[in-house]
Each structure stands twice: as structure tokens, then as C-alpha cells.
Structure 1
């Protein structure tokens, strides 16, 4: 999971829109909180 998170954050700023970047971050945060609840 973190590999995907790092890959998204490492993308050049011009690769996609800032909105899409934050959408990815938002879903990553949801995944982190969800995994914490199950542990």
C-alpha cells in the first residue's frame, strides 16, 4: 500500500491535476484508518 502512496507523491506536478493528487491522498488516508480499525 505504501508503495502506491509513495509512487503517487513522487509523480511530477504536471502529470495530473492537483485535485486528482489530493483524491489519491484522501483514499490512502481512508485505507490507513480502515486498516487501523481492523488491527
Structure 2
């Protein structure tokens, strides 16, 4: 979960709605798992 903090700055700027934020969380998790 700490690794999501790296993406938090992008999420706060890019995501205005709950739906897009949820999609962003899944995208960030996929990126972290692929590393």
C-alpha cells in the first residue's frame, strides 16, 4: 500500500470522481505488480 503513495500525486490531480479514482487504483496496482 505504501507504493501507492507514489501514484497519489498523480491521482489527486487526474481523478475528480470516485469512479475514475477506483480505476486509477486498479491501474496503479497493475503497474506495481508488473515490476
TM-score (norm 2): 0.61
Runs of 4+ in 1 over 3 A off after TM superposition: none
Q: Which runs of 5+ in 1 are unaligned?
A: none
Aligned Cα root-mean-square deviation (Å): 1.4
Bigger Cα Rg: 1
Number of residue equivalences: 27
Q: Which runs of 5+ in 2 are unaligned?
A: 1-5
